[in-house]
Amino acid sequence: MKYLSEYRNLEETKKVLDEIHKITTREWNIMEICGGQTHSLVKNGILELLPEKVRMIHGPGCPVCVTPLNLIDKAIELLEQGVIVCSFGDMIRVPGSKKSLLETKALGGDLRILYSPIEAISIAKKNPDKEVVFFAVGFETTAPANALSVLHAEKEGITNYSILASHVLVPPAMEAILDDKFCTINAFLGAGHVCAIMGTKEYYPLVSKYKIPIVVTGFEPLDLVQGIYIAVKQLEEGKYELANQYSRIVKEEGNIAAIDVINKIFEIGNREWRGIGEIPNSGYVIKEAYRKYDAEEKFNISTIKVPENPNCIAGEILRGIKKPNQCDQFGKTCKPSNPLGAPMVSSEGACAAYYHFSTNLID
């Protein structure tokens, strides 16, 4: 099987689920890293079909969810200064400390919802008297396109364009989770789309250091149950290896051209994660040679700091310590129409998945 529809095959999915039931003899906690995987698990009812001893724990792989509160406030500050702020649609309703980007737009801010940062370059060219900022949020997956937008701006001599970057990296987050004293993770399902860009080599040290299986996995129902099966089989046999279930897309070396573009614009530095705090060397920062395209420096907004909402337990959910329906505010004061935190409004957020698809899930 090579493509997409085959991995939505109900009968094949049932067969693998049956095999998981057959081989499971002990309790195992498996974390799926990606929010897209979480949504697929919940939407397709896979969590209820797994053996009781196999517990899926939802990880921090939702880029919108881990974007820190202060960065959203920085984007809002830019809008209030009269800057044209461009963003992917999933960021606009995420609450800042006082309001969201969408609410700021309603108050007169010039917010543009785009599908690509390259579109923001066109907007900057058409509005030479205005500053244009692209809100560059994401994991390694979206970094190449954001880096490419900077290269396009440089090539075309566009000086009124910059990016507000919040790129975070998966392996350091996994390591931070494993080092947490509350961690109970036995295996990981790696994020397939991240590995499609970065490859798989950087996961070998984690497997070796923590003696834990990591299975790079796709997003369709059959992908996920195959990934879970591989992880459970390794655990039951006392093995810990890096496996690639998503081999139809992911190659060990990754996408060399995309990696080269990333490395030209970005370097690794510390990043703050919403609800988790700062993780050393866990994100991309703009290199000195391209710092003129860094909106934080260009507009002197790097000093904005705000506390997290004390009623939101996003940090515990993103670290896999609690499930969304273990939050006292879930479905009450916190709903997609009035979210306390990003996981309830993001298209990849665990809280949104539980709210929309399976609010009756019980631990």
Q: What is the mean pLDDT of the chain?
A: 93
Any residues with CB less than 8 A from the CB of 157 and at least 6 apart, and which? Answer: none
3-state secondary structure of 87: strand
pLDDT at position 323 over 50 = yes
Q: Residue count of the chain, please give it.
A: 363
Tell me the CB-side half-sphere exposure of residue 96, using CA atoms within 13 A: 20
What distances in angstroms separate CA 69 from CA 48, 64, 112, 331, one per listed residue? 33, 10, 20, 22
Region 58-72 average pLDDT: 88
Predicted local confidence at residue 319, as pLDDT: 83
The mean pLDDT value for 206-221 works out to 97
Residue 359 has pLDDT above 60, yes or no: no
**Residue 232's Cα: distance from chain center in Å?**
24
Q: Would you state the pLDDT for residue 306?
A: 74
d(CA 334, CA 331): 5
- State the pLDDT confidence band at 318, using cuts at 50, 70 and 90: confident
Q: Running DSSP on this structure, what letter comes out for residue 301?
A: -
**CA angle 278–279–285, rounded 5-degree value:** 85
91-114: pLDDT as tens digits: 998 888 889 999 999 999 999 999
Answer whether 321's CB lies under 8 Å from 340's CB: no
Closest CA to 275 of 220, 351, 207, 212: 351
**Among 54-58, 225-229, 250-254, 317-321, which stretch is predicted with the lowest mean pLDDT?**
317-321
Domains in the chain, CATH or no CATH each? 67-169+254-298 (3.40.50.11740)
Q: Quick one: which of 291, 253, 254, 300 has its CA closest to 269?
A: 291
What is the band of 1 on the pLDDT scale with cuts at 50, 70, 90? low
Q: How far apart are CA 118 and CA 97, in angstroms?
A: 29
CA dihedral defined by 352, 356, 357, 361, rounded to 10 degrees? 70
The Cβ of residue 237 has, within 10 Å, a number of other Cβ atoms equal to 11
pLDDT at 362 over 50: no
* Two tokens, residue 31: 């974390």
d(CA 170, CA 176): 10
**């609800």: which residue's tokens?**
275
State the pairing for strand pair 54-61/84-87: unpaired
Tokens linked to 166: 């919040």
pTM of the model: 0.90
Two tokens, residue 352:
């949104």
Residues 212 and 206 sit within 8 Å (Cβ to Cβ): yes
263: tokens are 């490395």
359: Cβ contacts below 8 Å, ≥ 6 apart: 325, 331
Q: Is the pLDDT of residue 301 over 60?
A: yes
Contact 169, 283 (CB under 8 A): yes
